[in-house]
Amino acid sequence: MIVRVVNGRIATPGSILRSAEIAVAGDRIAAIGPEGSGRVDATIDLDGGWLLPGFIDCQVNGGGGVLFNDHADPDAIAAIGAAHAGFGTTGFLPTLISDTAPQISAALDAVDAAIAKGVPGVVGIHIEGPFINEAKRGIHEAHRIRRLDAAMLSLLTAPRRGRVMLTLAPEQCAPEDIATLTRYGVIVSAGHSDATYEEAKAAIAAGLSGVTHLFNAMSPLHHRAPGLVGAALDSNVWCGLIVDDAHLHAAAVRIAVKVKGVDRLMLVTDAMPTVGTEATDFMLQGKRITVRDGVCVFSDGTLAGTHLDMASALRNTVEVTGLSVPDAATMASTTPARFLSLAGQRGALAAGLRADWVSFDRDLRPTGTWIGGVALHADTPALLRASH
């Protein structure tokens, strides 16, 4: 299939094309380059907008009215993915916040089943807690917090179809546990942590490679006690950022970009089930969470995930940092692909990678999403037209 993209800007690695033809073979990009093919099967008219690589979101609690903690099954994962695909997400990790061992096991099995079933977009799972620090638990329930033990290590290191990402507090486990997890392919990230700089650096030396929602729910940077934030900024780990004008001050986003660069920062949503719906509240482990001015909060004011989608995260990032659209898209696509060791499959518009992309209008509003060469969403002005 040959897809012609016209009247806009196409962000490919190292260059911006004004028009292009994308040859798709199966679910992959076989070739991408300037117009010139005699045969065209479909045309995407960007109308002055952008074509970007599909977004990869490492932290998706829910969407489309579904919370993963409540519905750990392939149909629920499909519903969550479909809701986020409308905002350009073509790869995601369903995220389970601190829960029981049986629920963690069920969630792991559900993601395996979803991948086997071919649910669009799902590339693995993110287990966020319960091996966290109660002092930085945020909306996570205190009674679910526990230490990492041999039984959980065995469960988490069992072979899986997709990536397994685990958020833990480094000070709540031994560096040897982190080394064991990473040896078996688990992607370990620090979060909901009161770790000292020294504890965080020891975890990084043991194999920890990420920091979950940098700045939020963690020991802050102090000039005599740099904490987890200081260790994150002073090392080569990947860091997630929630850019929703509630979790982070714009200056914190700019500082992170200046220190880490777009190649080590990932946009994440931490999205809750209201994304993709008109709902203004939902239940989270027995607590009613309300969406107020686009922010998910509990009655005591505690932030409880977000009502954020990846398209908005991209738009917000461009606005508060002044980054170019391609640089912001790197944070939404290329960097998370590298973090998940998926750079050979996803994260860029390049030959050999999956045919995952999203179109935007001039105002950076999403107008179409393709996953694996299939158009899941296509609205004007990015019209998908069969050519004869």
Residues 312 and 381 in one domain: no
Instruction: Please count the other Cβ atoms lying within 10 Å of the Cβ belonging to residue 320.
Output: 18
The closest of 235, 225, 233, 224 to 202, measured between CA atoms, is 235
Predicted pLDDT of residue 124: 98
Query: Residue 344: inside a domain, yes or no?
Result: no
Output the six-digit token pair for 242.
């929630």
Residues 150 and 202 in one domain: yes
Indicate which residue of 57, 112, 270, 356 is catalytic.
270
Burial of 274 (0-12, 13-18, 19+ CB in 10 A): buried
Query: Residue 16: inside a domain, yes or no?
Result: yes
Residues 170 and 250 in one domain: yes
Residues 147 and 221 in one domain: yes
Output the domain CATH number for residue 100.
3.20.20.140
Helix (H) / strand (E) containing 296: strand 295-297
Residues 166 and 305 in one domain: yes
Query: Residue 182: inside a domain, yes or no?
Result: yes
Burial of 59 (0-12, 13-18, 19+ CB in 10 A): buried
Residues 45 and 62 in one domain: no
Residues 378 and 245 in one domain: no
Output the domain CATH number for residue 370.
2.30.40.10
Query: Residue 128: inside a domain, yes or no?
Result: yes
Number of domains forming the structure of the chain: 2
Residues 211 and 261 in one domain: yes
**Upstream peptide bond of 381 is cis (omega within 30 degrees of 0):** yes
Domain extent, residue 67, equals 55-339
Number of H helices, E strands in the chain: 10, 24
pTM: 0.96
Helix ranges, 126-249 (H): 150-156, 175-183, 197-206, 227-233
Residues 165 and 203 in one domain: yes
Output the six-digit token pair for 103.
């629920």
Residues 17 and 77 in one domain: no
Residues 178 and 211 in one domain: yes
The number of angstroms, rounded, from the C-alpha of 208 to the middle of its chain's C-alpha atoms is 18
Per-residue pLDDT tens listing for the chain (388 residues): 999 999 999 999 989 999 999 999 999 999 998 877 678 899 999 999 999 999 999 999 999 999 999 999 999 999 999 999 999 999 999 999 999 999 999 999 999 999 999 999 999 999 999 999 999 999 999 999 999 999 999 999 999 999 999 999 999 999 999 999 999 999 999 999 999 999 999 999 999 999 999 999 999 999 999 999 999 999 999 999 999 999 999 999 999 999 999 999 999 999 999 999 999 999 999 999 999 988 999 999 999 999 999 999 999 999 999 999 999 999 999 999 999 999 999 999 999 999 999 999 999 999 999 999 999 865 533 444 433 2
Query: In angstroms, how far apart are the furthest CA atoms of the chain?
Result: 68
Q: Give Cα separations from 5 to 32, 301, 311, 359, 361 (angstroms).
A: 10, 46, 20, 10, 13
Catalytic status, residue 270:
yes
Partners of 281 in the β-ladder: 290
Residues 193 and 220 in one domain: yes
